[in-house]
Amino acid sequence: MEKGLLHVAIEPKQEIIALGMSNGLVFVGNFRNGGEVLPPLSHPSSITALSFSTDAKSIIVGDGAGYIYDWKLEDGKLRFPSRSHGSEMLVATTVRDTSLVIGVAKEGNVSIFDSKTGALQRARLQRTLRDAETSHDGSLLAFAPRGIAAVQVWNINERMSGRRFVDVLEKNLIARLKGPDNSPNQLRDSEAGGANRQKSLYAAADPDGTVFIYDAKTLKPIGDPFYHPPAVGAVTLTMDEKLLITSGRDREVRVWDLQTRENIVRMRHDSFVSVIALSPDDERLVTITDDGELRVWNFRTGDCLTPAIRDTPRDSLEQEGIVVARVSDDGKSLLFRVSEHGFFTVPMPPKDTRLPEWFLRLAEGLGRRHLTEEGRLESLTLEDFEQRAAAIPKTPAPGEEVATLWAKWMLAPSATRPLSPFDEQPFNEYLLSLKDQGSPAAAREYLRYRPTDRDAMNRAAKFVPPPPK
């Protein structure tokens, strides 16, 4: 072995050893017979962190340039693109029995990445670090700040509001909208077809981005077509028959006036939007990209109402994610179908909710950071947090009901609180419902929370995805 060995990682079950070198190479071999398992993995800078995933399917690498890599042991290819942390990596590891990858950099940048859903959380510790380590369950980060004779321990990960399993793929809970059997070929065969909620109008897109509007009674085109090149992935219409919404390969979602044929609003995304769904009041639009990013918009103004939400189970970037979605008739939840997994729901953001000052102060207390009027970040103490938590009103003022509900949910123990603030079912009862459901798909979802349950493992192993509908 050449000089410059910096890090060693061992996977005992498969008898694999990984050696991280100062020249950026990682050698992966069998420590029993000395054979090569993978060709050398190359990185632009020296290896500063190295570990195997607990499922022995990945090798996680951090380098001196601040990047973290997730290499597949089966073929030596990246599972996801590398991610930058801005400075030398101190920690690059997975969390036992989960799909989480944690990265900690020398200048205090921390990331928690879910390799199943693509969800990424980032935080910046206001310290330069000498050393850092995470707990086995990934909930705690202990680090030694440079220049301070102390060790700090932070809570960095806990279960937040998430998706709820509804049913198996075999149930046709949402159908792709297409024209009737006696409709023109362009409407019946379009891969990007849609309708308004009462199905008085249909829309159908050609592969080149040409969109036709059809009267549902006559099945004849209405007016001139719309053009959203180079291609359209999804279309829908408002119930008042005044607006058309299209998503294009140009990564834009556009709102069109049916009377003037003009594009009046554009909503830009980082990737192609493959699924869109309107709320029943025609005020909010859900967009879902092909890499699993969900957002809710006021489509009449183009304002985004939520941050990017990633909660789509996927085994790789190549696997199809959410393929169809529908907002419930009461507008409170979104039902969606995930290819090769099942049907799920998530809450929709409440309408017309204001955040009172006490809630904003509580959020700062939870993050232990206060933003001053001058734009500086100041650290908050545990006592500061407790004072802010004590300010939550016992009886909410008019208009503050949702904020109070969220506040109480965030302060409840993460291990037992319901899936969301709007869910009345205790978390343990939800887990029991997954067990009682009995299907392999429900067992796979159960394993998200109880990954070592042997019965769920056996049932999940029997899962066979049905062909797409």
Is 93 within 8 Å of 101 (Cβ atoms)?
yes
pLDDT band per the 50, 70, 90 thresholds, residue 467: low
The pTM score is: 0.77
d(CA 405, CA 191): 41
Residue in this structure with the two tokens 């978390």, named with its chain if needed: 427
Compute the 3-state secondary structure of the chain and give helix, strand, coil in percent, each to the nearest 5: 15, 40, 50
pLDDT of residue 2 exceeding 70, the answer is: no
Is 41 within 8 Å of 29 (Cβ atoms)?
no
Range with lowest mean pLDDT among 35-49, 139-153, 310-324, 365-379:
310-324
Sheet with 210-215: list strands edge to edge.
192-195, 201-205, 210-215, 226-227
- How many CA atoms lie within 13 Å of 59's alpha carbon, on the beta-carbon side? 31
pLDDT of residue 253 exceeding 90, the answer is: yes
pLDDT band per the 50, 70, 90 thresholds, residue 118: confident
What share of the chain has pLDDT > 70, as a percent? 95
The model's pLDDT over 127-141, given as tens digits with 9 standing for 90+, comes to 788 888 887 767 778
Bridge partner list, 297 = 285, 304
Query: Under CATH, which architecture does the 5-157 domain have?
Result: 7 Propeller (2.130)
pLDDT band per the 50, 70, 90 thresholds, residue 451: confident
**421's tokens:** 């603030």
pLDDT band per the 50, 70, 90 thresholds, residue 17: very high
Average pLDDT of span 107-127: 80
d(CA 61, CA 59): 7
Stronger pLDDT, 318 or 171, i.e. the higher one: 171
Range with lowest mean pLDDT among 4-8, 131-135, 172-176, 390-394:
172-176
d(CA 165, CA 448): 11
Same fold, 5-157 and 167-347: yes
Is 3 within 8 Å of 17 (Cβ atoms)?
no
Q: Options 3.40.50.1220, 3.30.70.20, 1.10.3720.10, 2.130.10.10; which CATH number does 167-347 get?
A: 2.130.10.10
Bridge partner list, 42 = 25
Per domain, the residue ranges of the chain are 5-157, 167-347, 357-411, 425-460
Q: What is the DSSP string of 197-262?
A: TT-SEEEEE-TTSEEEEEETTT--B-SSPEE--S-EEEEEE-TTS-EEEEEETTSEEEEEETTT--
pLDDT band per the 50, 70, 90 thresholds, residue 276: very high
For 89, residues 6+ apart whose C-beta sits below 8 A from its C-beta are 48, 49, 62, 63, 64, 66, 67, 68, 103, 104, 105, 106
pLDDT of residue 465 exceeding 70, the answer is: no
The model's pLDDT over 310-321, given as tens digits with 9 standing for 90+, comes to 877 766 666 778
Residue in this structure with the two tokens 């670090």, named with its chain if needed: 129
pLDDT of residue 3 exceeding 70, the answer is: no
Query: Of 160-174, 246-260, 358-372, 413-427, which one has max mean pLDDT?
Result: 246-260
